[in-house]
Chains A and B, each alone.
Chain A
């Protein structure tokens, strides 16, 4: 009975989105997945038609459909190009939730989500970077642990080995931001990019007083794989943990867009709606914030850098100008072709669909190489993991987090 009710609600929510599609096909020209798969089931129009037919009783949910819904990067390229601005990513998230209730979740996703919901395990993983066998995630994640560059390494690149010793990191005496800012360190930053996270903290502390509250997972992976309840519970934890902050800054694009949606996500919960709204209004992405406070890098070097737009930053939060502007202050900036096209990492997409992910990455690598840049910069650990793979493939550039370059 209870399941039926939530099922119906979920269906109603999906229908409201998918019914707006008039099947014009404009998404066929921009969807990175369709680009490599060439099947109608793998483009927004096909996904939406499938959901619609399912909701209207014309298709019976099965594992092929579940897979088709997973086979989406949630990159929003379709929405941006759609005359009716249909939110296919939201429809896919809802549809995954619906399928999860109907068919059960994929064990792999359950495991991953359970893991990301558990701070102790994350710390364990981050502390040793050798993933505990006990989590059962060792096999799943072993292949993905990327190599990480450090800020010192970047400086060395910029200056050459015979350069002066690295400048000491004395925090700026005048801090342009008066309030208290809190750094939201997402799971992937904790686990895979501790050095970049540290660089973020250093950057931030030049602008204001920084605290690092104990954060829970932002909930995005849970939402993306049909575990909305857990996503809400995590949101509440974070709202409590960050109650004191004037601003909440994250250096992960996915976390950022997830955190900015808390207000929306908890809008139906009278106890939490207002607090969630307030929380979300305080959230800013790293470059969004640095740009806002007029951050000036201490020096400009002669390295060539290019920038890859994380989907969750450029389309998810409309942040496009800020990182470019900051990079221009720090190095020689070159724009790559189709900088805002998804790199194919997309959460667990690369684990679920390695072949398609690799093809999408190959195009990204080609575009990066065409700029002759020394470094490709981005502002999302998920992209950074994917770009690190691109770095290994190509050998012609390094992939770094923006915090390590500014």
Chain B
């Protein structure tokens, strides 16, 4: 509970408009898009919607003075409970700081506030022939602040990298309310520690991002989409690896296993060739038709060598949309197969893909659970989805154990717990396994140095 007097002080900063403390409002800022149960609700004591860095700084000063937990929030689409106020306190909702501040088209840099939706950044750039590549599937409804705090990535990571690869500088309000500027518009920078990188993926535990400088590149002139279906999952993985090695680097290569494809086929009433055991959706981009033809030709040849039973190039925009909508509809189609879907987000070296999928299958079989695997084959980031009915007796425990084993398997093949969704609350228990004692000690001392009072997103990551 926050004292009435203190609430008044906060209200002086943001005004009545920027402060929510009705019970219903507090409840609706208690969850995010993770599968954490809604109840018991982790309600904040107060929700604040600042409109400027100054307001954020003033809020942090007060919160620091009274030792009130502060949880940054974009649009609450995180999948690991990052913006859930697990220990109460303030939810600092940054969705109204949503201005694109400056386009520097000499240096190809864009300066934005944290609440801008990723799609709006993409669109703004695209209209000017520029390209902001990071493309988490949630780009329409997630904020750039949340993307930076989770180092979000998407299908295009294989060729273009993830959010962090485009963050050149940040403005961050620290735990005590002081305002830090990191990085800048220069490409090279070895002046002290790389603090920009430190805040990328920090999940709101080190500071509140209030401004970001993003690097842009020219928009590729043309794109083409193709779908390849394979008679084995190994073949599909090999085709992607060989394609990259050959220089025909796809802008995206999305892998779907048999269960995932069947789920979509069922959802959409499509007949499926019984030989199909895996599929890949490729996107290629470039600046000339001839160049693209060559890339796609090479990919088609390599796919055939790896046992593709079909290779379909989208001829029109509609066909392209159709192929992508298959991929985008995958989560829902899989979710429709069972009462609950528990989707993980492991990331492994690309070469370990066939091995990890084999191990995942074994785990699922051992626990008698259905498992669908899909993800970003190009970069080794997979979303194994366990299908279960968590209300059935014993099922919850089974799922928990299976998830634990999935993480172990990822680590065993040289991978890690999360490719893009972060650790948040849901993966905390496994962190020590991934980082080791020294790793844990190192991140703890960083946290202590920047947030000695422990008020920034307490209870997250570790």
Q: Which chain A residues have a beta carbon within 8 Å of chain B's beta carbons? A: 22-26, 28-29, 38-41, 46, 49-50, 52-53, 56-59, 62, 64-65, 68, 83-84
Contact = CB atoms under 8 A, between A and B. Distances in A.
Contact of A64 (B23, B31, B140): B23
Interface in B85-119: 95-96, 117, 119
The 8 closest A-B pairs by CB, nearest first: A40-B28, A58-B39, A46-B28, A83-B332, A25-B141, A25-B77, A41-B28, A23-B33
Interface in B330-364: 331-332, 335
A24 B33 contact: yes
Contact of B24 (A22, A56, A68): A68
Query: Interface residues of B: mostly helix, strand, loop or mixed?
Result: loop
A53 B38 contact: yes
Contacts of A56: 38-39
Contacts of A29: 117, 119, 140-141
Contact of A49 (B38, B141, B328, B331): B38
28 contacts: A23-B32, A24-B33, A24-B138, A24-B141, A25-B33, A25-B77, A26-B140, A29-B117, A29-B141, A38-B96, A39-B25, A39-B28, A40-B25, A40-B28, A41-B24, A41-B25, A41-B28, A46-B28, A50-B27, A50-B28, A52-B38, A53-B39, A58-B39, A62-B23, A62-B24, A68-B24, A83-B329, A84-B335
Contacts of A58: 27, 38-41
A289 B231 CA distance: 49
Given A56-B38, A58-B38, A84-B335, A40 B141 contact: no
A29 B142 CA distance: 10
A26 B335 contact: no
Interface of B: 20, 22-25, 27-29, 31-35, 38-41, 49, 75-77, 95-96, 117, 119, 138, 140-142, 328-329, 331-332, 335
Given A28-B141, A50-B28, A58-B41, 14 more contacts: A24-B77, A24-B138, A25-B75, A25-B76, A25-B142, A26-B140, A28-B75, A38-B49, A56-B38, A57-B39, A58-B27, A58-B40, A83-B328, A84-B335
B332 A84 contact: yes
Contacts of B38: 49, 52-53, 56, 58
B138 A49 contact: no
Nearest to A84: B332
Nearest to B331: A83
Contact of A53 (B41, B96, B329, B331): B41
A404 to B, nearest CB: 36
Contacts of B27: 41, 49-50, 53, 58-59
Contacts of A59: 23-24, 27, 41
A40 B25 CA distance: 7
B13 to A, nearest CB: 18
A49 B140 contact: no
A58 B28 CA distance: 12
A39 B40 CA distance: 21
A18 to B, nearest CB: 10
A20 B76 CA distance: 18
Given A56-B39, A65-B24, A23 B31 contact: yes
Contacts of B28: 39-41, 46, 49-50
A62 B328 CA distance: 38
A25 B95 contact: no
A39 B20 contact: yes
Interface-centre pick from B39, B119, B331 (highest chain A CB count, 10 A): B39
A42 to B, nearest CB: 9
A40 B29 contact: yes
Nearest to A28: B141
A273 B75 CA distance: 44
A53 B335 CA distance: 21
Contacts of B34: 23
Contacts of A40: 25, 28-29, 76
Nearest to A57: B39
Contacts of A68: 24
Contacts of A23: 31-34, 76
Interface-centre pick from A40, A53, A64, A83 (highest chain B CB count, 10 A): A40
A65 B26 CA distance: 12
Contacts of B138: 24-25
A38 B35 CA distance: 24
A15 to B, nearest CB: 12
Given A28-B141, A29-B140, A58-B40, A22 B25 contact: no
Nearest to B341: A22
Nearest to B140: A29
Interface-centre pick from A26, A29, A41, A62 (highest chain B CB count, 10 A): A41
A77 to B, nearest CB: 14
Nearest to A59: B27
A52 B30 CA distance: 13
A65 B119 CA distance: 32
A65 B96 CA distance: 24
B387 to A, nearest CB: 14
A56 B41 CA distance: 11
Contacts of B40: 58
A22 B41 contact: no
A57 B332 CA distance: 28
A48 to B, nearest CB: 10
A259 to B, nearest CB: 29
A83 B77 CA distance: 14
A49 B39 CA distance: 10
Nearest to B96: A38
Contacts of A46: 28
Nearest to A19: B339
Contacts of B33: 22-25
Nearest to B23: A64
B95 A64 contact: no
A24 B39 CA distance: 18
A24 B341 CA distance: 13
A56 B117 CA distance: 33
Contacts of B29: 40
Contacts of A62: 23-24
A58 B140 CA distance: 30
Contacts of B117: 29
B22 A64 contact: yes
A28 B143 CA distance: 12
A49 B332 CA distance: 19
Contacts of A57: 39
A78 to B, nearest CB: 12
Contacts of A50: 24, 27-28
Contacts of B32: 23
A41 B96 CA distance: 16
Contacts of A38: 49, 95-96
Contacts of B329: 83
A26 B141 CA distance: 6
A56 B27 CA distance: 14
A82 to B, nearest CB: 9
B96 to A, nearest CB: 7
Contacts of A25: 33, 75-77, 138, 141-142
A56 B75 CA distance: 25
A26 B23 CA distance: 24
A163 B282 CA distance: 62
Contact of B31 (A28, A49, A83): A49
Contacts of B35: 22
Contacts of A84: 332, 335
A39 B95 CA distance: 10
A59 B76 CA distance: 20
Contacts of B20: 39
